[in-house]
């Protein structure tokens, strides 16, 4: 729609509490395989309108209008301020907690933190203020040598902020009011995990996890933050396999919540992530210096940047094929060269704030000016326990 996006079409040929879940996005503990470039809205032609065997019918988990709305929030470090500002604008538009307009929330890294806040019905404007005010404290560099011996940043300040009583405090996943998925990677087992609410009978192992632990697990970006340890396991950023978690949510809605593709509406919000590319003049040998130059701390960050950029492109590409026009909306902006120099995953200074908040305001205005998108926001999600 706006911000340099293009349509890609397939080639022809209320507040209450419930339990929760642990583990991967399939009951047998394995991630289901799914099959990605550009940014822009669309959603799906149904291959089958029937519910998967053994799973609830659409009527058991959808809203009265028969639609099932998904909100998917990408990771991106401090660039998540762009996402938070858009969420605040949308929430201001609907005049109530934004989560009440969506049947399933998902987010990765900073997007996961925002998804958990939405699920608790914490005002999104509060999350904007948190990252505006404390961003530079979260991304305060330690002594340069520690970039070799340990991560560039510590999660201590982020933990303190999230543990505030008016945010997550010591609450567990049972406290959230809406269905939510948050991906991470269990580095101890080498397996991707998706922390989930108990919106399916097979999901019963996550309800006692603290929200702070889930938030720190999904946002432990390699090279930037240390691995997060809880429940005797080490976790790293879910962006390594699902930085844009829309496909996870699509799978969840169809396979575990009994939704047909025709019922689905998916809104994905990015973080102004630029494509991660190589300088054609660079050394092509593939060694450590090729990836990181003379600074050994750069290599893991470049590899992480490449991984999340490629995964996000793949997800957007597939969603534009799986969901038909009017069912998939991708809110994001491409960075101009000037803006790209001001923002990064770990840039939290005044220039970054100005770019991110300004761009978010542009995106909000453009999308709220779209009648089709405004109509989508009129949806009223059923409570997760309603039938």
Confidence at residue 278, expressed as pLDDT on a 0 to 100 scale = 61
pLDDT band at 218 (very low <50, low <70, confident <90, very high): very high
Lowest pLDDT segment from 3-17, 159-173, 236-250, 311-325: 3-17
End-to-end, the C-alpha distance of the chain in Å comes to 36
The answer to whether 268 and 72 have CB atoms below 8 angstroms apart is: yes
Q: Which two tokens stand for residue 190?
A: 């080498």
What pLDDT is recorded for position 167? 96
Provide the pLDDT for residue 160: 96
Q: Which two tokens stand for residue 87?
A: 């969420």
pLDDT above 90: residue 187: yes
Any catalytic annotation for residue 109?
yes
Quote the distance between the C-alpha of residue 257 and its chain's center: 20
| Residue 29, pLDDT above cutoff 60 | no
pLDDT of residue 153: 84
pLDDT digits (tens, 9 = 90+) for 64-100: 578 999 999 999 999 999 999 999 999 999 999 999 9
What was the pLDDT predicted at 305?
80
Q: Is the confidence at residue 368, as pLDDT, over 80?
A: yes
pLDDT (0 to 100) of residue 386: 55
Q: Which of 25, 103, 213, 237 is catalytic?
A: 237
- What digits encode the pLDDT tens for the residues 132-172? 999 999 998 765 555 556 678 889 999 999 999 999 999 99
% pLDDT > 90, the chain: 59
Q: What is the pTM assigned to this prediction?
A: 0.80
Give the dihedral sign, CA 318/319/323/324: negative
Out of 102-106, 260-264, 293-297, least confident range: 293-297
Given 20, 61, 109, 273, the catalytic residue: 109
Asked whether the beta carbons of 75 and 108 are under 8 A apart, the reply is yes
- What band does 11 get if pLDDT is binned at 50, 70 and 90? very low
Question: What's domain 20-278+294-376's superfamily in CATH?
Answer: Cytosolic phospholipase A2 catalytic domain (3.40.1090.10)
Assess whether pLDDT exceeds 80 at residue 233.
Answer: yes
Q: What confidence tier does 290 reach under pLDDT thresholds 50, 70, 90?
A: low
Query: At residue 297, does pLDDT exceed 80?
Result: no
- What's the rounded mean pLDDT across residues 43-60? 34
Report the C-alpha gap between 26 and 341 in whole angstroms: 41
Would the pLDDT of 260 be above 80? yes
pLDDT above 70: residue 207: yes
Average pLDDT of the chain, as a whole number: 81
Confidence at residue 147, expressed as pLDDT on a 0 to 100 scale: 54
The token duo for 4 is 């340099």
- 65 as an active site residue: the answer is no
Cβ neighbours for 173, distance < 8 A, ≥ 6 positions apart: 20, 195, 197, 206, 207, 208, 209, 211, 214
* pLDDT bracket for residue 280 (50, 70, 90): low
Length of the chain: 387
* CB neighbour list of residue 377: distance below 8 Å, 6 or more residues apart: 90, 93, 94, 101
Whole-number pLDDT of residue 291:
62
Query: Is residue 60 scored above 70 in pLDDT?
Result: no
Q: Find the DSSP H helices in the chain.
A: 80-94, 110-119, 124-138, 146-149, 156-162, 211-218, 239-242, 246-255, 288-292, 298-322, 337-342, 350-368, 371-376
Q: In this predicted structure, what is the pLDDT of residue 293?
A: 61
């Amino acid at each position: 729609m706006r911000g340099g996006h293009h349509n890609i079409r397939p080639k022809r040929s209320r507040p209450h509490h419930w339990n929760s879940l642990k583990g991967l996005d399939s009951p047998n503990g394995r991630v289901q395989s799914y099959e990605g470039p550009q940014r822009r809205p669309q959603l799906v032609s149904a291959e089958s309108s029937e519910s998967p065997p053994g799973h609830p019918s659409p009527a058991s988990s959808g809203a009265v209008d028969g639609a099932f709305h998904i909100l998917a929030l990408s990771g991106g470090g401090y660039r998540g301020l762009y996402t938070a500002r858009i969420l605040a604008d949308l929430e201001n538009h609907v005049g109530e907690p934004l989560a009440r307009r969506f049947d399933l929330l998902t987010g990765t890294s900073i997007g996961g933190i925002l998804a958990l806040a939405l699920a608790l019905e914490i005002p999104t404007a509060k999350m904007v203020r948190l990252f505006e005010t404390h961003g530079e404290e979260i991304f305060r560099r330690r002594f340069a040598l520690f970039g070799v011996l340990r991560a560039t940043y510590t999660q201590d300040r982020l933990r303190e902020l999230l543990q505030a009583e008016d945010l997550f405090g010591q609450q567990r996943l049972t406290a959230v009011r809406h269905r939510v998925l948050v991906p991470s990677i269990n580095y101890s087992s080498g397996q991707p995990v998706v922390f989930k609410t108990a919106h399916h009978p097979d999901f019963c192992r996550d309800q006692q996890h603290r929200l702070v632990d889930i938030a720190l697990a999904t946002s432990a970006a390699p090279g930037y933050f240390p691995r997060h340890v809880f429940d005797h396991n080490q976790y790293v950023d879910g962006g390594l396999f699902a930085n844009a978690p829309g496909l996870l949510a699509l799978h969840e809605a169809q396979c575990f919540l009994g939704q047909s593709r025709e019922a689905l509406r998916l809104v994905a919000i990015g973080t102004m992530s630029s494509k991660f590319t190589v300088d054609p003049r660079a050394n092509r040998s593939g060694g450590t210096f090729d990836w990181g130059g003379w600074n050994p701390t750069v290599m893991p960050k470049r590899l992480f940047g490449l991984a999340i950029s490629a995964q996000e492109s793949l997800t957007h590409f597939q969603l534009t094929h799986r969901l038909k026009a009017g069912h998939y909306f991708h809110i994001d902006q491409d960075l101009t060269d000037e803006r790209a120099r001001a923002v990064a995953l770990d840039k939290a200074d005044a220039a970054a704030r100005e770019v991110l908040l300004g761009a978010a305001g542009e995106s909000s205005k453009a999308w709220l000016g779209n009648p089709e998108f405004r109509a989508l926001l009129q949806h009223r999600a059923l409570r997760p326990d309603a039938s």
